[in-house]
Structure 1
Amino acid sequence: MVSTCRILSFTRASRQRMSGLQVEVENDCTVVSPSQQVKVTVKTVPSYCGITWTGTYEAPECISGDLQSHVPECITGRLSYDINPQRKELNVSVADMLEDHNYHLRLCHKDFICIGTGANTMIKKEELVKSTTLPYSRPLPCLCIEGWSAVMDAPRVQVCPFKDRLEELWFGINFDPLEGTLSWQPACPVTAAVVLCQEGEDGVCVDLPHASQNVSREKITFTKVDPHPQLCMKFTAGAQSWTRCPFSGTRFQAWEVVVTRGQGIEDVKMLSQITATFSVGLCEKSKGSAACQTTETHTIHVEKNKAVGLNMRGELCNSCLQVKRLDVEFAATVVHCLQQCNQSSQLRPVISSQPSWSLTWVVVPAGVCISGIIIVTVVLHVLLTVHQRRKQKRNGGCTFEKQTDPAFDCAVPVLQTKPILHGGVLVPDSPQYVYAERANLISD
């Protein structure tokens, strides 16, 4: 708002000579800055009938190459760079910087203003090589190199090496397992649409109903989300789309359908790490179509860490199970197809939600009991054998305990015949031997 005045005088002779002609006045002594607006007023002194002329002039911006090269207020310097992705570094060089002044360089995230990231340096005016290295963490599209001369209110220049790397924005998806909340906030301002979708076997992600939000800068949140590997988040910016599946591993998977096969029968169970309610439907896939037509549906409640058996009475041929969690707002519909069986023995499958007790709980206790019985039997046999041998030794090697005559404690054989060992007890060769031995003892 600073005003400057200049008075131009015309002599009488010149007025007579220029009478009726336009007069052009050149004023080259008023200092203006780039992009400054100037108001020019022309009037007569003294005032001639109150006649004045007023005009507005706007000085050109510094985008002109001529001004950038000659006007100090427009000299920003020219930046060039090389990217080292392995070391995550930017090698920056400066040319045409303002003479006799130092130069600032930094990395910043561009938004309404460029917010510094902490990586900055100064190039001294005495340095012959006007270059430096700036480290970066992520190649975001809003990450820019900013440079300016070390003077008051110096204009700044910015170059953004990764401005086309939009795919770097679709990271940083967070999930709160306690609240069941899926959230994401863009690291850079971007105009995009975010939708939850279910990824199929063909890699195509089908949008879930009522699961779309628009984003620019603010954080977006999806509540009551079932963490399943097939549940993904799709980002669309312009004509391009990117899909990210935060639950692709088994880290957050809350439930699963377990199928075991034995003797031509499939045992199907549901196991959940949380208490939840599911819709389980029987469906069949038609030839040439990926869609599964549901024939009947059942609602099943599963307690935390308690397996629930889907008892399939009979064989289920060419059929699948279509499972979806009901106690959340956003969930994937998962299809588990069972093994094909003999078409001649089809029976109507029945789904029940009775808890499935594993056969292990029956086999293991029975095995322990049988093993105990065997061990006790062996110990008793050993003890009985030892007892018989000790008793035999006390009787002096006598084999028979019961005699016809109680006066005799033992029957000693006269003839040396070889006895036969049966089960640890010595038995004479024949009954005749016993009788002969008894007769010899009586005669003595």
Structure 2
Amino acid sequence: MILWVALLTAHCCLGLNGAAAEGTGLDRIEKCSTRCSQGLHCKARPDYIFHPPCQEAAGGLNTSSVFHNISFSTVMMCEGRQKCSLQLRIKTALQLTESIQGVSICTMTAGMMMSCRILKFTRSSGKRMSGLQVEVENDCTSVSPNQRVQVVVKTLPSYCGITWTGTYNAPACISEDMRRHVPDCITGRLSYNVNPVRKELSVSVSEMMEDHNYNLRLCYKDFLCSGAGTNLLIKKEEPVKSVTLPYSRPLPCLCIEGWSAVMDAPRVQVCPFKDRLKELWFGITFDPLEETLSWELVCPVATVVALCQTRKDGVCVDLPNASRNVSRGKIRFTEVDPHPQLCVKFTVGSQFWTRCPFADGRLQAWDVVVTRQRDREQVAVTSRINATFSVGLCVTSAGPAGCQINKTHRVHVGENEAVGLNLSDELRSSCVQVRRLDVKYTATVIHCVEQRNRAAHRRHVVAGGTSWDLIWAFVPVGVCLSGIISVTLLLHVLLTVYLRRRKQRGNEKQKDPPHDCVVPATHQHGGILIPDSPLCGNTEKANLLSE
């Protein structure tokens, strides 16, 4: 029983899904036709543009009393799987009288002449159904996708003042039904794989127009998609419909464009890197002579560009009056001081990115040096250019101001010069705030003297601790070397005493004459006997050698 219920449920779901799928498509017709209410016979024929003058309407006739409801819809007439056209179906409901012999339906589109058709009732059926509300339907007006059509409905004969006018927009190529069957909507389906190492896009094409070649290329999307390389052609007889496209940068506006190789074929674009906005925030240039910072937006994206100054906590605070709105093209900031803390912030919606083009300090034009000598602070401003500065004494605070200025000094520094400020009598705070005055956009730099002195003191303490560590490392080595030297000296003294005593005993033995001379052994050398070890003769020489 449970299995039976499950099968019924699945069948119902499949039926609903099929109905929904069919509902997304357009109604099909085999040929265009004209239909009238049951019992009313009508024939359709083309009408001429130049109509006879209108007639005065009979009493009581007006537009609202004659035309009750006029509706439009689009149907599809097909000659093959990919050879379908769109037809405009016009359904008119009107109150029929004996004086109305039919209706005239005219359509007009931009750039096209007006086209009219007459739907005429037979005399007998019109007389029989006079006084009744009837319906007339015609679907023989060809339209193009997304075309705007103006429709004018009149009575036949044409009565003055009895005219209905309306407009209709044909559906665009957004439905899957039209994209597969209407030639004006068939663009092909693109799929791709990205190889970031080789910077290549492998593109495959499916559902392209039958019996036609296909074009592919890379382009930069704006109002139009401008080419970013050569076009590649996929021939219709090739079994594998795929190509490889190399790219240089993964920009968000870099797209793959494809279209059938026919005149005025619709095109499709797929943008693989549309979310890679961070690729746009490169290419910042600076002219040090003109002191101009410039940047060009290579993709059309609504962006807010602002100059900001980085703080110690990493937050970049916007400079006043340093924000620009740009969606395409190039922007310029003039009179910019290339300080390492000066950065550019890019904001798109709720996202933002920061780039600091001067962070390496190569273009830094000035600096402030604060030193302490003999318990006195000295402030010096050095500059590689002619510049004017504001030097202020301030007290640091936790608020947004950061440093509250008590007094400022205006200082001019020449090219490659250094100007010292004698602020020892006025420096009651721990920080000095410096800002360049002869430019529009500059960073405000704060130097704190006490923090530097404490850092120097810490460095001195660290250096002293390091020297003591070295001393304690060398003490054991010195003790060992001293012990070795002492032992060596003691052994040398003992050896000297021993040798002297032995020499004295030798001298005492020489005073007694020897009893005989003994030659214990000899060996023959060339027929002459030579003693092997003489123990007589020059005994003094022997003693010296033995010693």
TM-score by length of 2: 0.56
1:273 to 356, 370, 384: 384
Note the C-alpha offset of 1:57: 4.1
Which residue of the partner structure matches residue 143 of structure 1? 254
Distance 1:257 1:14, change over 3 A: same
2:307 is the counterpart of 1:196: yes
- The CA RMSD over aligned residues, in Å, is 3.2
Equivalence map 1:276-355=2 (5 Å):
276-286=387-397, 291-310=402-421, 319-339=430-450
The alignment partner of 1:73 has SS state of coil
CA distance in 2, matches of 1:52, 1:183: 61
Which residue of the partner structure matches residue 158 of structure 1? 269
1:80 to 174, 191, 197: 191
2:190 is the counterpart of 1:62: no
CA distance in 2, matches of 1:138, 1:53: 57
Contact 1:279–1:325 (CA under 8 A) maintained in structure 2: yes
2:350 to 239, 242, 253: 239
Per-residue CA shift, 1:150-209, capped at 9, x if unaligned? 111111111222222222222221211101111222111222222211101100111111
The one-letter code matched in structure 2 to 1:61 is A
Distance 1:223 1:21, change over 3 A: same
CA distance in 2, matches of 1:307, 1:14: 109
CA distance in 1, matches of 2:323, 2:228: 32
Note the C-alpha offset of 1:44: 6.4
Note the C-alpha offset of 1:258: 3.9
Which residue of the partner structure matches residue 209 of structure 1? 320
CA distance in 2, matches of 1:49, 1:318: 93
Percent identity for Structure 1 against Structure 2: 70
Deviates more, 1:223-232 or 1:25-34: 25-34
Distance 1:310 1:14, change over 3 A: same
Deviates more, 1:4-13 or 1:188-197: 4-13
The one-letter code matched in structure 2 to 1:80 is S
Structure 2, gaps ≥5 residues long: 1-111, 455-547
The alignment partner of 2:354 has SS state of strand
The one-letter code matched in structure 2 to 1:219 is K
Note the C-alpha offset of 1:293: 3.0
Contact 1:285–1:292 (CA under 8 A) maintained in structure 2: yes
CA distance in 2, matches of 1:300, 1:86: 54
Contact 1:316–1:340 (CA under 8 A) maintained in structure 2: no
TM-score by length of 1: 0.68
Which residue of the partner structure matches residue 223 of structure 2? 112
Distance 1:128 1:322, change over 3 A: same
Note the C-alpha offset of 1:41: 5.0
Per-residue CA shift, 1:367-401, capped at 9, x if unaligned? xxxxxxxxxxxxxxxxxxxxxxxxxxxxxxxxxxx
CA distance in 2, matches of 1:23, 1:313: 104
Note the C-alpha offset of 1:133: 1.6
1:32 to 129, 139, 143: 143
Which residue of the partner structure matches residue 296 of structure 2? 185
Deviates more, 1:69-78 or 1:54-63: 54-63
Distance 1:279 1:12, change over 3 A: closer
Per-residue CA shift, 1:6-27, capped at 9, x if unaligned? 5555445544554444554444
Q: Select the structure that is richer in helix.
A: 2
Note the C-alpha offset of 1:265: 6.8
CA distance in 2, matches of 1:111, 1:341: 53
Distance 1:100 1:284, change over 3 A: same
Distance 1:339 1:62, change over 3 A: same
Which residue of the partner structure matches residue 367 of structure 1? none
CA distance in 2, matches of 1:317, 1:342: 15
Note the C-alpha offset of 1:327: 1.1
Structure 1, gaps ≥5 residues long: 344-444
2:213 to 95, 98, 102: 102
Distance 1:21 1:287, change over 3 A: closer
The alignment partner of 1:185 has SS state of strand
The alignment partner of 1:154 has SS state of coil
Which residue of the partner structure matches residue 241 of structure 2? 130
Contact 1:38–1:58 (CA under 8 A) maintained in structure 2: yes
The alignment partner of 2:446 has SS state of strand
2:335 to 224, 235, 239: 224
CA distance in 2, matches of 1:282, 1:95: 72
Note the C-alpha offset of 1:287: 7.7
CA distance in 2, matches of 1:41, 1:341: 87
Deviates more, 1:163-172 or 1:200-209: 163-172
Equivalence map 1:332-411=2 (5 Å):
332-339=443-450
Distance 1:317 1:133, change over 3 A: farther
Note the C-alpha offset of 1:98: 0.6
CA distance in 2, matches of 1:321, 1:245: 24
The one-letter code matched in structure 1 to 2:294 is S
Which residue of the partner structure matches residue 421 of structure 1? none
Contact 1:184–1:221 (CA under 8 A) maintained in structure 2: yes
Which residue of the partner structure matches residue 252 of structure 1? 363
Note the C-alpha offset of 1:313: 5.5
CA distance in 1, matches of 2:214, 2:161: 53
Which residue of the partner structure matches residue 355 of structure 1? none
The one-letter code matched in structure 1 to 2:188 is G
1:91 to 196, 202, 210: 202
Distance 1:340 1:183, change over 3 A: closer
Contact 1:145–1:160 (CA under 8 A) maintained in structure 2: yes
The alignment partner of 2:143 has SS state of coil
Per-residue CA shift, 1:400-439, capped at 9, x if unaligned? xxxxxxxxxxxxxxxxxxxxxxxxxxxxxxxxxxxxxxxx
Note the C-alpha offset of 1:54: 5.4
Note the C-alpha offset of 1:228: 0.2
Structure whose CA Rg is larger: 2
CA distance in 2, matches of 1:337, 1:119: 60
Note the C-alpha offset of 1:101: 0.7
CA distance in 2, matches of 1:342, 1:14: 111
CA distance in 1, matches of 2:328, 2:275: 18
Deviates more, 1:221-230 or 1:105-114: 105-114
Distance 1:170 1:48, change over 3 A: closer
